[in-house]
Amino acid sequence: MQLIEEESSEIASSNRGPGRYAVFGQPIAHSLSPRIHAAFARQLSIAHDYRPIEASTEEFVGALAAFAESGGVGANVTLPLKQHAARLCLSISETARRADSVNTLVRRGEGWHGESTDGAGLIRDITGRQRLYVRGRRTLLLGAGGAARAVAFALLDAGIGELTIANRTAERADALADAIGQPERVHTRYWTDLGQWGGFDLVVNATSAGHANMSLALPTSLLASRAICYDLSYGKASFGFLAWARSAGAGHALDGLGMLVEQAAEAFEIWHGKRPETDAIYAELRAYLPGDAED
C-alpha cells in the first residue's frame, strides 16, 4: 500500500493544482461521497477536487479515459460499474482480484490500479462502530454483484461460521461460490426456497432492490434470535429491508451508511497516505439522512 500512496502522490503533484478525484456510477446524483471526501479533506487540510460523474456501463470506458486526460488521479466506483472497473485496470490488488470487484482507482503512469475497500468498510463498521461480532455467525448474503462479492470475502476472512448466498439469478450465486472455493463453508440456495433454510445470525442485503423500489418479500423464519440485519444501501433505499428486519424481530437493523464512510476513509488513505477520523462525518450524515435507519 505504501507504494500506491507514494506513486499516487507523485502523479497528483505532476498535474497543475490538486489532482482530480471523482466517483463514477449510475445513478450518481444521490451520492454522499463528495460530501464525505470534502469533510476528510478539510479535516486533514489536503487539497482534494472530488466530483460525481454519471456513467452507464456503456459510457464508463470513455468517461474514465476523459477523466484521466483531464488530470484525474483517483476515483471511486459504485453501482453498476465495480466489475467493469476491474476489467479496465492494468494492475489490481489481491483483495480486488479475489472479489473481481474494484471500487477505488489509483492512476499509475498510463493506467489504473484497482483496489476494493468495501469489505474493509463493512467489517470496520460492524465490529468497530457498532461493536458487534461476526465470528462464528451463520450468515446469509442476498445478492451476488460487485459489492456482494467484496463483502463475501471480507466476512469469511473475519471468521463467520458459514456463508449462504442467494441471488435471483442462481447462476451468479453459484459463480460467486465457485470463485470463493470453500465448499465446506460456502453454499448457495434458490431464492424461491428462502423459507426453508432455518435461522441466520447475520443477514446482509447486497441487492439493488431498494434502489428500484422493489420488495424482497423475505420470510421471517430467516432470522435467528437477536440476528444482525445489514443493508449495504443507506437512506431510502434501505428502508424496506430494515422495516422487514425490525418486524421479523432482528436484534440489530443497520443500514450501510457506516460502511460507506469507512470504505471512503480507506480510499482517502490510499490516495493521500493519511487516514481521516470518521465519527464526525458519520454523525453529520446520520442527522442529515431522512428517517430512522439504524437500531
Q: Is the pLDDT of residue 2 over 50?
A: no
At residue 137, the pLDDT reads 97
CA atoms of 80 and 162, how far apart (whole Å): 27
Q: What is the pLDDT of residue 213?
A: 67
The pLDDT value recorded for residue 198 is: 82
Q: Flag whether pLDDT at 16 surpasses 60.
A: no
* For residue 176, pLDDT beyond 60: yes
Neighbours of 246 (CB within 10 A): 14
Please state the residue numbers annotated as binding site for NADP(+): 94, 143-147, 167-172, 232, 256
The yes-or-no verdict on residue 183 having pLDDT over 60 is yes
Upstream peptide bond of 34 is cis (omega within 30 degrees of 0): no
Active site annotation includes 274: no
Amino acid at residue number 99: A
**Cα-based angle 177, 182, 185 (whole degrees, multiple of 5):** 95
With cut-offs at 50, 70 and 90, classify the pLDDT of residue 44: very high
Q: Calculate the average pLDDT of the chain.
A: 89
Mean pLDDT for 111-136 is 96
Do 92 and 150 touch, CB atoms closer than 8 A?
A: no
Report helix, strand or coil for 260: helix
Please check the confidence at residue 74 and state whether its pLDDT lies above 90: yes
Structural domains present in the chain = 2-116+259-288 (3.40.50.10860), 120-255 (3.40.50.720)
Classified as helix, coil or strand, 281 is helix
pLDDT at 116 over 60: yes
pLDDT at 70 over 80: yes
Q: Enumerate the known binding-site residues.
A: 31-33, 78, 94, 103, 118, 143-147, 167-172, 232, 234, 256, 263
Contacts of 126 (CB under 8 A, 6+ apart): 132, 134, 228, 230, 254
Contact between 50 and 33 under an 8 Å Cβ cutoff? The reply is yes
Catalytic residue among 82, 113, 124, 272: 82
What single-letter amino acid sits at 190? Y
pLDDT > 60? residue 1: no
Is the pLDDT at 282 greater than 80, yes or no? yes
Model confidence at 208, pLDDT cuts 50, 70, 90, reads confident
Asked whether residue 9 carries a pLDDT value surpassing 50, the answer given is no
Q: Locate cell 463493512: which residue?
A: 122
Q: What is the pTM of this model?
A: 0.88
- Residue 212 pLDDT more than 80? no
Mean pLDDT of 175-198: 91
Q: List, for residues 54-63, the tens digit of each pLDDT value.
A: 999 999 999 9
What distance in Å separates the CA atoms of residue 154 and residue 28, rounded to the nearest whole number? 25
Question: To 10 degrees, the CA torsion angle through 290, 77, 59, 41?
Answer: 80
Question: What backbone torsions phi and psi does residue 139 show, to the nearest 5 degrees?
Answer: -120, 140
pLDDT value at position 18? 64
**Residue scoring higher pLDDT (66 or 211):** 66
Q: What is the pLDDT of residue 146?
A: 81
166-182 average pLDDT score: 94
Q: Binding site membership for shikimate: which residues?
A: 31-33, 78, 103, 118, 234, 263
Q: Is the pLDDT of residue 215 over 80?
A: no
Q: What is the pLDDT of residue 291?
A: 58
pLDDT band at 246 (very low <50, low <70, confident <90, very high): very high
Structure confidence at residue 8 as a pLDDT band (50, 70, 90): very low
36 falls in which pLDDT band (50, 70, 90)? very high
